[in-house]
A and B are shown apart, each in its own frame.
Chain A
Amino acid sequence: MKKLSARRRHPLAALVVLLLALACTGGLYAVFAPADKAQADESAQTLTIEEGKKLYTVGCASCHGTGGQGTSDGPSVVGVGAAAVDFQVSTGRMPAATSQGAQVPRKKAIYNQAEIDQLAAYIASLGAGPAVPTEAQYGPEGADIAKGGELFRNNCAQCHNFTGKGGALTHGKYAPSLDGVAPKHIYEAMLTGPQNMPSFPDTTLSEQNKKDIIAYLNAVNGEETESPGGLTLGGLGPVSEGLFAWVFGLGALIAAAVWVAARTAKAKKS
């Protein structure tokens, strides 16, 4: 200490103290800075929820209630989770028209993905529910297509048809065609069970099962699916086949018959 004390009037002493002070402040800053950033994150989240709430108030509250509690025109959305919001709004089902038919149809989405995320964040903040799945959950890696086919035939085909072409339900309701539905939305639909569809939570169909089903659908009803037999005729089975056989099969043959019958040996006019 004596040494230190003796050098306190050294010309460089001030510099050393300054350096120490800077290091100290920097260190303190370094210690506190992450906390500050977290606070910033939280405020960003709050901001998202705030934005989501604004969107909700404008576009959804008239049916689902100002606090998501539901009204006579729409069910409560508390606890449906971000996955349900992402599914309903991304596929254009929500917001629904005021006078729907038997079922809310799929249509063009009117919110962009950022707005949908904000809405989802707001709804998720109202009560715990399934989150939006990630690419790792619905992507094709590690999926067993054949197993997915078996699961699909066991759980989905009775409404959506063998390869997801859709089918009729009672009183004008229907299981929609799965043509061109994004894997994420199929996953979300299984998770949340929109409209007439039962939900298949992870306790019923595990994450792996859902992945398998999506991979199967992609294999048999995807953009790159080949049809080895030619035109699929809608993939609807014997009804469209019967129609095709009558119109084009028998139709062509009757045309051929008329053609053959019209060409006959004529007696020579001498």
Chain B
Amino acid sequence: MSTTTTPESRSRGKAPAGERVADWADGRLGIYSLAKANMRKIFPDHPSFMLGEICLYSFLIIILTGVYLTLFFHPSMNEVEYHGSYVPMQGQLMSEAYKSTLDISFDVRGGLLIRQIHHWAALVFLAGMFIHMMRVFFTGAFRKPREINWLFGFLLFVLGMFTGFTGYSLPDDLLSGTGIRFMEGAILSVPIVGTYISFFLFGGEFPGDDFVARFFSIHVLLLPGIMLGLVVAHLILVFYHKHTQFAGPGKTNKNVVGMPLLPVYMAKAGGFFFLVFGVLAAVAAIATINPIWAIGPYRPDMVSTGAQPDWYMGFSEGLIRVMPGWEINFWGHTLVLGVFIPLLIFPLVLVAIAVYPFIESWVTGDKREHHILDRPRNVPTRTAFGVAWITLYFVLLVGGGNDLWATHFHLSINAITWFVRIAFFVAPVLAFIVTKRICLGLQRRDKDKVLHGRESGIIKRLPHGEFIEVHEPLSQEQLHTLTAHEQYQPAEIGPAVDENGVRRKVSATEKLRAKLSKGYYGDDGQIPKPTVEEYKEITSGHGHH
């Protein structure tokens, strides 16, 4: 818009250019009310609230770099002979997909860097989603009204896994081809329909000529399209629900204490985008990822050791690697339990964490809205469950990399496999117990701090010779923060007889619920927080610690 030719009749002179642009846009888009409602929207400040931003920005970076890669990638399995600039592949037969990936890496300007940013960003995106999800989990941010958004986030994580997997498969290199073969084997293990699904997916016998083109459509169109929609929905819900905050003075379930979106968070979030882009570009410039030129083109008769998927699929690799190779033969049919059981456990591992919010809400009977976050120690059962889940996930990751654990720590791969088999069942239980104990210990410590103050490290000698340590009382703010959490009573089964004195039927689920509720809020589930009376009694008696 030109400013010099605009006629200006008002005597006060021209309005600033920005104002006129805004006015122009408002007349056509009605952005004034939108901006007015949202520009001053408040967000609370905490480092852990920026984990979701890491995911959002790396997702954007993946889309940007991915668009560049599609300009040069040929999703075709036609066989061609290589005559590009990478010498150790000269004259080799390979698919066009692999050749074009070599070309992107060696002959397209900036191609290798963009490819590496794309792939590193994908790994970081998934890792970011993982810890973002864990942050939400451990602080109880999934509670009402945010259960749907928790599920959106979970879906994004799962779709991200499969988008990553299909993208990793596109170059048609020996490593990813082995991964696809793995997937094909898992599909084939499904009774009755397995072979049909496999033939449908690959357009015939593996590997066929179709899967790269099909995975390409799934990778660049279908899954990212759904993910983009979910990201938008996720953000809309974050806006709509408003952000959660940690307990503190002045912070209630009905307000949000923090800084406004404009200008503070615009500057912070905008700047953080460039920081994320910068870090990912630096990582991509420093370290190789997926050097497909060294890996070679896929041929079904070849395989390499150390064939693992990217980390987010590693737990499925672990499930397969540690599962005993059981199979059942009957009437000329084989049921490959060694593959089929891991295939069944794979979704269960993920679903276990996804449905937890609903289970917790059912057990505790808590249907209220929560906008104040929990400190993980104050909900020991939930925290212990989360740590147990992470432990299971990590144990499976160890199983997925059992060969590298063996070679790098000079161990027997068989011993590692047996360790994982046992730890799969035992480690989560141990982690649960240990975490719960630690949480209760921390609660006791909080209680102690509230009642007796902070240990100052100053030793005082009393006139009669006794030595005491001076405890410094906490400030009003600290006292509030440490005691702000609510403590619930376990749900009771209710009277055994109804109002007419007839024995009431107590269903098994009700009993189970009461038992679980006791686990959450019973004597073993939480340390009663200090009451005002306790505090007064102790603080009134000077010198009595």
Using a CB–CB cutoff of 8 Å, the interface residues on chain A facing chain B are: 101-102, 145-147, 149-150, 153-154, 157-163, 165-172, 174-175, 216, 219-220, 227-233, 235-246, 248-250, 252-254, 256-258, 260-262, 264-265
User: Is the C-beta of B153 less than 8 angstroms from some C-beta in chain A?
Assistant: no
Given the interface contacts A167-B403, A169-B413, A174-B406, does A239 sit within 8 Å of B283 by beta carbon? no
Residues of A with C-beta under 8 A to B51:
254, 257
Residues 250-293 (chain B) with a chain A CB within 8 angstroms: 259, 264, 268, 271-272, 275-276, 279-280, 282-291, 293
CA A218 to CA B443, docked complex, whole Å:
61
Residues of B with C-beta under 8 A to A262:
47
- B264 lies within 8 A of A232 (CB): no
Residues of A with C-beta under 8 A to B306:
161-162, 165, 167, 236-237, 239
Q: Which of B8-16, B68-76, B119-127, B527-535 contacts A (4 or more CB under 8 A)?
A: B119-127
Residues of B with C-beta under 8 A to A256:
272, 275-276, 279
Extra 14 A-B pairs, beta carbons < 8 Å, given A242-B314, A248-B283, A260-B275? A150-B296, A160-B305, A168-B413, A174-B407, A228-B105, A231-B288, A232-B291, A233-B287, A239-B311, A239-B400, A239-B404, A241-B290, A250-B54, A253-B54
- A242 lies within 8 A of B305 (CB): no
Given the interface contacts A170-B414, A242-B310, does A249 sit within 8 Å of B286 by beta carbon? no
- B288 lies within 8 A of A157 (CB): no
Residues of B with C-beta under 8 A to A242:
123, 310-311, 314
Residues of A with C-beta under 8 A to B307:
237
**Interface size class for chain B?**
35 or more
Residues of B with C-beta under 8 A to A166:
407
Given the interface contacts A154-B302, A231-B287, does A216 sit within 8 Å of B88 by beta carbon? yes
- B264 lies within 8 A of A162 (CB): no
Q: Which chain B residue lies CB-closest to A244? A: B287
Residues of A with C-beta under 8 A to B189:
none
Q: Which chain B residue lies CB-closest to A231? A: B287
Sampled A-B contacts (5; CB under 8 Å) = A157-B302, A172-B413, A230-B287, A245-B120, A265-B259
Q: Which of B89-97, B234-242, B461-469 contacts A (4 or more CB under 8 A)?
A: B89-97
Residues of B with C-beta under 8 A to A159:
305
SS of A interface (majority): helix
- A172 lies within 8 A of B411 (CB): yes
- A157 lies within 8 A of B304 (CB): yes
Q: Which chain A residue lies CB-closest to B267? A: A265
- A249 lies within 8 A of B105 (CB): no
Given the interface contacts A168-B407, A231-B287, A235-B294, does A149 sit within 8 Å of B88 by beta carbon? yes
- B288 lies within 8 A of A172 (CB): no
Residues of A with C-beta under 8 A to B401:
239
Residues of B with C-beta under 8 A to A235:
291, 294
CA A264 to CA B411, docked complex, whole Å:
49
- A253 lies within 8 A of B92 (CB): no
- A158 lies within 8 A of B304 (CB): yes
Residues of A with C-beta under 8 A to B123:
241-242, 245, 249
- A171 lies within 8 A of B414 (CB): yes
Given the interface contacts A232-B291, A253-B54, does A246 sit within 8 Å of B304 by beta carbon? no
User: Is the C-beta of B186 less than 8 angstroms from some C-beta in chain A?
Assistant: no
Residues of B with C-beta under 8 A to A170:
412-414
| Nearest CB in chain A: distance from B205 CB, A | 21
| Nearest CB in chain B: distance from A130 CB, A | 26
- A241 lies within 8 A of B294 (CB): no
- A264 lies within 8 A of B259 (CB): yes
CA A168 to CA B174, docked complex, whole Å:
19
Residues of A with C-beta under 8 A to B415:
172
| Nearest CB in chain A: distance from B87 CB, A | 6
- B301 lies within 8 A of A163 (CB): no
Q: Which chain A residue lies CB-closest to B128? A: A250
- B124 lies within 8 A of A158 (CB): no
Given the interface contacts A172-B406, A229-B288, A238-B310, does A146 sit within 8 Å of B92 by beta carbon? yes
Residues of A with C-beta under 8 A to B293:
228
| Nearest CB in chain B: distance from A260 CB, A | 5
The 9 tightest CB contacts between A and B, nearest first, are: A242-B311, A167-B305, A229-B288, A245-B123, A168-B403, A172-B412, A257-B50, A157-B304, A168-B406
Instruction: Select the residue from A166, A172, A249 with max chain B CB neighbours within 10 A.
Output: A249
Given the interface contacts A229-B116, A239-B401, does A265 sit within 8 Å of B87 by beta carbon? no
User: Is the C-beta of B349 less than 8 angstroms from some C-beta in chain A?
Assistant: no
CA A147 to CA B279, docked complex, whole Å:
39
Q: Which chain A residue lies CB-closest to B175? A: A237
> CB < 8 Å: which of A246, A248, A260 contacts B50?
A260
| Nearest CB in chain B: distance from A38 CB, A | 47
Residues of A with C-beta under 8 A to B264:
264-265
CA A166 to CA B403, docked complex, whole Å:
10
Q: Which chain A residue lies CB-closest to B278? A: A256
Given the interface contacts A161-B304, A168-B403, A249-B283, does A145 sit within 8 Å of B124 by beta carbon? no
| Nearest CB in chain B: distance from A57 CB, A | 33
| Nearest CB in chain B: distance from A196 CB, A | 13
- A168 lies within 8 A of B289 (CB): no
- A153 lies within 8 A of B304 (CB): yes
> CB < 8 Å: which of A153, A172, A228 contacts B112?
A228
Q: Mark B364-404, 1 if CB is under 8 A from A, else 0.
A: 00000000000000000000000000000000000011111
Residues of B with C-beta under 8 A to A260:
50, 268, 271-272, 275
- B89 lies within 8 A of A149 (CB): yes
Q: Which chain A residue lies CB-closest to B168? A: A238
